Structure 1
């Protein structure tokens, strides 16, 4: 198997999830060696499946909120040229329904977890004088769209990304963040079971009239991680089918009703 990523090891957190699996298959198909990390043992099954497809994978089960587990996982991976901080979760959709423990849970699983992984990999990147980190944030980090603890964590990830870009640029380490909108992953299956039209309802808020596909997120991440983006660091790039361009529903009602 050959490709632009041959000879490179790409660490992907949350590898067993919908976007994570898409990232693994995308970069694996390009010849990368994968370092797949997830808190679920499903990552081991994923690694076995990818290996049967001819993709080289090292897998580790670790909770990214635990710095010791993260350090042990990255020690087992060896050299990592690209870190994709993809892992995250949201379990508290409203502020009213979020207690201090819930707030801490979402902040830790998103912001603190991404920091722990970056902290584990940055020393070797500094020593090598090169590396790339791509954080997976959310449009929730830009606007109030519900899930307040998750959103606060994703906003924090934007600030963290810029801080890393500022401090580590001198070592030829680039750090960027992508901000996906609604992505078509298995996480929506439970919602669709309750409301089969939920995604159709959401699509009307997107100027492109659809939601994001996982491989569309992967392609932007691949660009940011590649030499084609060698002058880009500290950037926060929406991958959202136009959601953050403006309020298309309001615009249609006010000015675009005949367009």
Structure 2
């Protein structure tokens, strides 16, 4: 018996990157997967690959979310993965950019969670997996995105506490740098960017979408039945400490002796 046999899941932003990997992993682990994406063609392509169903939906729009959940039917697991953002310094961004990033990353998680919760409450259980970010736990620039991801983490904890007595678990994953299409676009502009990043990661590599998918599959499964309100960092050790800083500090002290 596979880990997610008999489970029905919606994965938002399932047409590429982390979402695509989550869809593939969930399907391999036995789940029936609804691939939701604002790009209907991408959703259809992934659904065809994994034997799932595709739904085109803009998860920042309540009507689209309601249609998505109605089309899905029973939802045992919701993965709020849709997100992204390229805005940076508070002094440089405008109100529209701020609202876009907050809507895409935080409002979407709120709308989708609100839509599936009544069914989960009625059935006496369910799992909501929110894809947050290390940006929600520490400063890595991209202020609107980071603020929204911090909100996702708090929303996760709130739902875990408020709905736990219904048998509903809410958990979050905070990935570090993951080799997604967005990062590949950055590599095209700055080819050496990954090499520069490696010095900050104790494991010496950036993450792959499959690293996050493996964590999501575990958290969505009964193996994690007593884990709720947790934020699992999938970050190659990034937030455990700064090895480069430690080496430089030690070197400075040694030079001073």
Give TM class, smaller chain. Answer: over 0.9
Show the counterpart of 1:12.
11
CA shift digits 1:207-246 (9 cap, x unpaired): 1111111111111111111111111110111110011112
Provide closer, same or farther for how the CA distance between residues 256 and 79 of structure 1 changes in structure 2, counting only shifts above 3 A.
farther
Show the counterpart of 2:153.
158
CA distance in 1, matches of 2:74, 2:176: 32
CA distance in 2, matches of 1:256, 1:85: 44
Structure 1: gaps (5+ residues): none
Is 187-196 or 117-126 further displaced after alignment? Answer: 187-196
CA shift digits 1:141-164 (9 cap, x unpaired): 011111000000000011100100
CA distance in 1, matches of 2:152, 2:133: 9
8 Å contact from structure 2 (residues 134, 176) kept in 1: yes
CA distance in 1, matches of 2:3, 2:237: 29
Show the counterpart of 2:237.
242
CA distance in 2, matches of 1:73, 1:108: 17
Q: TM-score, normalised by structure 2?
A: 0.94
- In the alignment, structure 1 residue 34 sits paired with structure 2 residue 33: yes
2:134 to 139, 144, 152: 139
1:71 to 66, 85, 88: 66
Superposition map of 1:71-150 within 5 A: 71-150=66-145
Is 223-232 or 188-197 further displaced after alignment? Answer: 188-197
Shift of 1:24: 1.0
Shift of 1:256: 7.3
CA distance in 1, matches of 2:7, 2:23: 13
Show the counterpart of 2:191.
196
Show the counterpart of 1:43.
43
CA shift digits 1:114-154 (9 cap, x unpaired): 11000010000000001001100000001111100000000
CA distance in 2, matches of 1:14, 1:81: 18
CA shift digits 1:58-81 (9 cap, x unpaired): 211111110111001110000010
Q: TM-score, normalised by structure 1?
A: 0.94
CA shift digits 1:91-134 (9 cap, x unpaired): 31222221111101100000000110000100000000010011
Provide closer, same or farther for how the CA distance between residues 249 and 75 of structure 1 changes in structure 2, counting only shifts above 3 A.
same
CA RMSD for the aligned pairs?
Answer: 1.4
Shift of 1:165: 0.4
2:167 to 146, 149, 172: 172
Q: How many matched pairs? A: 252
CA distance in 2, matches of 1:194, 1:58: 35
CA distance in 1, matches of 2:140, 2:250: 24
CA distance in 2, matches of 1:123, 1:78: 12
Structure 1 runs of 4+ aligned residues shifted over 2 Å read 255-258
